[in-house]
Chains A and B, each alone.
Chain A
Amino acid sequence: GAVVSQHPSRVICKSGTSVKIECRSLDFQATTMFWYRQFPKKSLMLMATSNEGSKATYEQGVEKDKFLINHASLTLSTLTVTSAHPEDSSFYICSALTSGGETQYFGPGTRLLVL
């Protein structure tokens, strides 16, 4: 199946700093990628839909100025957590949609710990 990578796999940062997470579709082009957030022992909750060449669409309750999304190419979307705080600590997972839109492939996730 198709491969989606995320970088970094885990990151620890100080409160107040910004962290960028990359999501790449390695062997296919993805006009749409999704960003999810998962707390320990909880389900995945959609944060935003990232569309190549246009602004991301955010779910209700997700601050767009805090979670900046850029989808500059057909194989790369980035999520930047700005001015991170301890409550932003979580597992962030992206998924990429194949061109026909039928299948979503998930990345391996990025564990963020804000001290």
Chain B
Amino acid sequence: GQQLNQSPQSMFIQEGEDVSMNCTSSSIFNTWLWYKQDPGEGPVLLIALYKAGELTSNGRLTAQFGITRKDSFLNISASIPSDVGIYFCAGQRNSGYALNFGKGTSLLVTP
């Protein structure tokens, strides 16, 4: 399947800073999802987006489904050390289909 373009590849920030990462695709997806993966664990769903233009928050996390349905971004505000991990975007063509993942953004947060 198609792999999505995710950037940046890695980020090294100080605690308290805001973080932004994004994902683009050459084709349309009807669902965009953002996952966090800790070392040696499976991905955990952070936010799911189902409508073009949708802006959804989950605590300090905010994500938007691009109006063209070919992109999405994730913002993390006021980062804390436990935000460390790898963040993956994923696109899903339709309900019930497998996910196409981005390459991941590795986030490091220093106290």
Residues of A at under 8 Å CB distance from B? Answer: 1, 4, 6, 32, 34, 41-46, 49, 59, 91, 93, 95, 97, 100-109, 111
Residues of B at under 8 Å CB distance from A? Answer: 1, 3, 35, 40-45, 48, 88, 95-96, 98-104, 106
16 additional contacts (CB under 8 A) given A44-B88, A45-B3, A106-B42: A34-B98, A42-B104, A43-B88, A43-B101, A44-B43, A45-B101, A46-B1, A46-B100, A93-B42, A102-B95, A103-B48, A106-B43, A107-B42, A109-B40, A109-B42, A111-B40
Specify which chain B residues have a CB less than 8 angstroms from the CB of A42 in the assembled complex: 103-104
Interface of B is mostly: loop
Evaluate whether A101 and B102 lie within 8 angstroms (CB atoms) in the complex, with A93-B43, A107-B42, A109-B40 already known: no
